Structure 1
Amino acid sequence: MLELLREESTLAEIAKKHDVAQQLISRWKSEFLANMPAVFNKRNEDIEKMKQDHEEEKELLVKKIGELTLDVDWLKKKDKQIIQMRVKKA
């Protein structure tokens, strides 16, 4: 098909090379050209969906990182307070 679309060979040459009827190759080309936009539109839709999913996941991960950072900071603060209390008691 690419050979035909790139016009590297004539329809007759391609048909002979692959032992396929010229009419069949011509029909395949017509069907391919008719359906090509749908294939690429579907692919673009899939890519956009993947981008959207990736962005949503990224936002969730950034939010989670923020929450975990707050938890770690709080634990560090509490750890220092506990150490100071133990030092005062000793």
Structure 2
Amino acid sequence: MHKPDFKAKVALEAIKGELTMAEMVKNFDVQAAQITQWKKQLLASASGAFDSNDNATDESEKTIQELHAKIGQLTMENDFLERGLERTHGPRGKKW
């Protein structure tokens, strides 16, 4: 079983086209059909390398907006409770 780094290296070499298939088979000790398959996999998933950043950015922005909304909600609740405490126990609240 080959590691993903090795597969990527072989697939990139195949895409470059600087070596013949026979040279690649000899250099990497991998069958030609396997090299072709890895090359196809790399080309098929290449656009995902760029899409994932956009999706991650969108997801981060959404999370940030949700957190800001939560901060606002908690601030309002805290202010409400503080005003209630002031009405009940005076401006400094109850001393423990």
Map 1:29-44 → 2, pairs under 5 A: 29-44=42-57
Residues matched between the structures, number: 70
TM score, norm. by length of structure 1? 0.64
Q: Which amino acid aligns with 1:54?
A: L
What secondary structure, in the 3-state scheme, does the structure 2 residue paired with 1:21 have? helix
1:4 positional shift: 4.6
Q: Which amino acid aligns with 2:70?
A: E
One of 78, 82, 86 as aligned partner of 1:69: 82
Q: Give % identity.
A: 7
Map 1:1-90 → 2, pairs under 5 A: 1-5=4-8, 7=9, 10-11=10-11, 13=28, 16=30, 21-77=34-90
Structure possessing the higher radius of gyration over alpha carbons: 1
Change beyond 3 A, Cα 1:63–1:3: farther
**Superposition RMSD in Å:** 2.2
TM score, norm. by length of structure 2? 0.60
Alpha-carbon distance in 2 for matches of 1:69, 1:46: 34
Give the gaps of 5 or more residues in structure 1.
78-90
Higher RCO (CA 8 Å, separation ≥ 6 residues): 2
Change beyond 3 A, Cα 1:72–1:47: same
Instruction: Report which of the two has the higher share of helix.
Output: 1
1:72 positional shift: 0.4
